[in-house]
Amino acid sequence: MIDLSTEYLGLKLDNPLVPSSSPLTGELDSAKKLEDAGASALVLPSLFEETIEHEQKQLDRFVYSQALGHSEAQSYQPIPEDYSSELDNNLERIQKFKSALDIPVIASLNGISTNGWIDSGKKLQQAGADALELNAYYIAADPDTTGEEVENRYLQLLSDLQKHVTIPVTMKLSPQFSSLANMVLKLQQAGAHGVSLFNRFYQPDIDLETLHIKPHIELSSSMESLVRIRWIALIRGRVDLSIAATGGLHRTEDIVKALLVGADITHLCSVLLKNGPEYIAILKQELHDWLEQREYTSVTQMKGSVSKSCAINPAALEHSNYMDVIKSYGQ
C-alpha cells in the first residue's frame, strides 16, 4: 500500500490533493462530493476585501437613497431589519462545513489592506477554520512605490494578523517579486507557516466595441504549472515552511512534478470545474499508480526529490534556457 499522506501547515492530510478556492468549495453539496472523492482538505472561496468594500458602499447608498424622495415617496425600498453580509455568509459556511466534513477547512482572505483583516481573520478562526490562506495582492501602480515598500506591506499584514490569530497562516503569492526566494524567506521569518505558489488574477481586458476596460479570467491550462514547478524546486530545501503548488495542475503528471520538486500539497481548481468533483478520485488513483509503478512507498519519499538541492541537473532551473527552448520548439 502506498502512503499518500502529507503534512501541510502542521495539518496531517490523507493525500496531497487539496481543492483550492472555487465555486465547488463554496457549496456543501459539492464540498461533500470532493471529500467523498478523496480531497484531503479544502480551501473555501475567498472573502474578498473588494467585495466587503463594495457591499458597504452599497449599504451606504441604500441607506442614503432612502432619503432621496419627495412628498409622495419618502423612500423607495423597504429597509430590512437585518441582513447577512459577505462575512456573515463566510462564517456561517465555515461552521456548516466543519460540522458536516471530516477534512480540514482552510479559510481564504483576499486583499491587501491591514484595515479590517485582523477583525475578519479573528472571526474566521472563531468560526472554526483550521488554517488561513492570505491571498494578498497589491497592484503597485504608483511609480513612487518601491518594491521594498510593497514587500513590507505584505510582511506587515502578515505580522499584524499573526498577533491576533493562533491558527496557521499561509501566504498565497504572485510570481511578481524581484526576488521571490528572498520574499518567501522573509515571510517565513515573519511567521508564515506556508506559501502557496502562485495566485492567478483577473486581467483587465478591453471591450473593442465600447473601449471600456473589463475584467477577464479564463480557466488555467497545464502550461501554467511549469512556472510553479520551477519556483518550488528553487526554494524547497532553502526555506522551512509548507509549500502548496497552485495554478495549472490539471494532469496527474503535473501533480507528480509538483510533488517531486517539493510541494507539500497540490491545489486543484480548473481541472475540477471542468471534470467535476468526482475527478479527484481518478487523480488520486493515478497518483497512487504512478508511485506504485515506480516503486515509491510514499509521497513523503518523493517530496522534493527533484528540488534544486536534489536535482540531477539543478543548473537548468536557474538558466533562462532560452536557446534550448527555441531549439526544442524547432524540432
Partner 1 sequence: METPRTLTIDGNQAAAEIAHLTNEVIAIYPITPASPMGEWADEWSSRKRANLWGTVPRIIEMQSEGGAAGTIHGALQTGALTTTFTASQGLLLMIPNMFKIAGELSPTVFHVAARSIAAQALSIFGDHSDVMAARTTGFAFLASNCPQEVMDMALIAQAATLESRIPIVHFFDGFRTSHEVAKIHSIETDVVRKIINNENITAHRQRALSPEHPVIRGTSQNPDVYFQARETVNSYYQAMPGIVQKVMDQFAALTGRNYRVFDYIGADDAEKVIVLMGSGAETAEETVDFLNTQGEKAGLIKVRLFRPFDAEALINALPSTTQSIAVLDRTKEPGADGEPLYKDVVTALAQQSIANQSSAKQNRFRQLPTIIGGRYGLSSKEFTPAMVKSVLDELGKAQPKNHFTVGILDDVTHSSLDWDENFRTDVHNNTFQAVFYGLGSDGTVSANKNSIKIIGESTDKYAQGYFVYDSKKSGAVTVSHLRFGDKSIHSSYLIGNGDADFVACHQPVFLERYPMLDKAANNAVFLLNTPLSPENVWQRLPKNMQQQVIDKHIRVYCIDAYNIAAISGMDKRINTIMQTCFFSISGVLPGDVAINAIKDAVEKTYGRKGKRLVELNFKAIDETLANLHEVIIPQISDATFDLTEPVPDNAPDFVRNVTGAIIAGRGDQIPVSLFPADGTYPVGTAAYEKRNIALEIPVLDENLCTQCGKCPLVCPHGVIRCKVFDESLLSSAPQAFKSMAVKGKDFAQGLSMSYQVAPEDCTGCGLCADICPIHDKTNASHKALNMVPYTPGLRQQEKENWAYFLNLPEYDRTAVKTGTIKGAMILQPLFEFSGACEGCGETPYIKLASQLFGDRMVVANATGCSSIYGGNLPTTPWTKNSEGRGPAWSNSLFEDNAEFGLGMRLAIDKQREYAGELLQQLQPDIGDGLVELILGADESTETGIQQQRSRIQALRDKLKHMDSPAARELVSVAENLARKSVWIIGGDGWAYDIGYGGLDHVLASGMDVNILVLDTEVYSNTGGQTSKATPRGAVAKFSAGGKASPKKDLALLAMDYEHVYVARVAYGAKDTQTIRAFHEAEAYPGPALIIAYSPCIAHGIDLKDNHLHQQLAVDSGHWPLFRYNPQQAASGKNPLHLDSKQPSIPYREFIETEIRFNMLWRTHPQEAEKLLKQSQQDVLHRYLHYEKLASLEWDKTGDIEPSHRKPTKATTPSKEQPS
Interface ranges with partner 1 (CB under 8 A):
53, 56, 58-85, 87-89, 115-116, 119, 211
Minimum CB distance to partner 1, residue 74 (Å): 7
Look at the block and give the residue holding cell 510533488: 259
- Those residues whose C-beta lies under 8 Å from the C-beta of residue 245, and which sit 6 or more positions away, are 197, 225, 228, 229, 232, 258, 263, 265, 266, 267
Half-sphere exposure of 259 (CA within 13 A, CB side): 29
Q: How far is the CB of 294 from partner 1 (least distance, A)?
A: 46
Q: What are the distances in angstroms from CA 246 to CA 72, 164, 199, 259, 321?
A: 56, 27, 7, 12, 24
Could you tell me the smallest distance in angstroms from the CB atom of residue 120 to partner 1?
10
Least distance CB 206 / partner 1 (angstroms): 9
Closest CB to partner 1 among residues 209, 218? 209
Closest to partner 1 by CB, 70 vs 294, is 70
Nearest to partner 1 of 92, 278 (CB atom) = 92
CB 172 within 8 A of CB 196: yes
Q: Closer to partner 1 at the Cβ: 89 or 285?
A: 89
Do strands 6-8 and 17-19 pair parallel, antiparallel, or not at all (unpaired)?
A: unpaired
Measure the CA–CA gap between 127 and 113, rounded to whole angstroms.
22
Strand 213-216 to strand 203-206: parallel, antiparallel, or no bridges (unpaired)? antiparallel
d(CA 210, CA 288): 51
CA angle, residues 222, 225, 302, in degrees to nearest 5: 115
If the CB atoms of residues 79 and 326 are measured against partner 1, the closer one turns out to be 79
Query: Between 87 and 173, whose beta carbon lies closer to partner 1?
Result: 87
Q: Is 213 or 223 the residue whose CB approaches partner 1 more closely?
A: 213
Q: How far is the CB of 76 from partner 1 (least distance, A)?
A: 4
18 membership: H or E segment, kind and range: strand 17-19
The residue (of 88 and 324) whose beta carbon lies closer to partner 1 is 88
Say how far apart CA 193 and CA 132 lie, in whole Å.
10
Q: 93 or 257: whose CB is closer to partner 1?
A: 93
CB of 53 to partner 1, least distance (A): 7
Contacts of 73 (CB under 8 A, 6+ apart): none
Question: What is the CB-side half-sphere exposure of residue 18 using CA atoms within 13 A?
Answer: 34
Least distance CB 263 / partner 1 (angstroms) = 35
Query: Closest distance between partner 1 and the C-beta of residue 75, in Å?
Result: 6
Torsion, Cα of 166, 135, 29, 129 (10° steps): 0
Q: Could you give the CA distance from residue 31 to residue 144 in angstroms, rounded to a whole number?
A: 44
* Least spacing, CB of residue 83 vs partner 1, in Å: 4
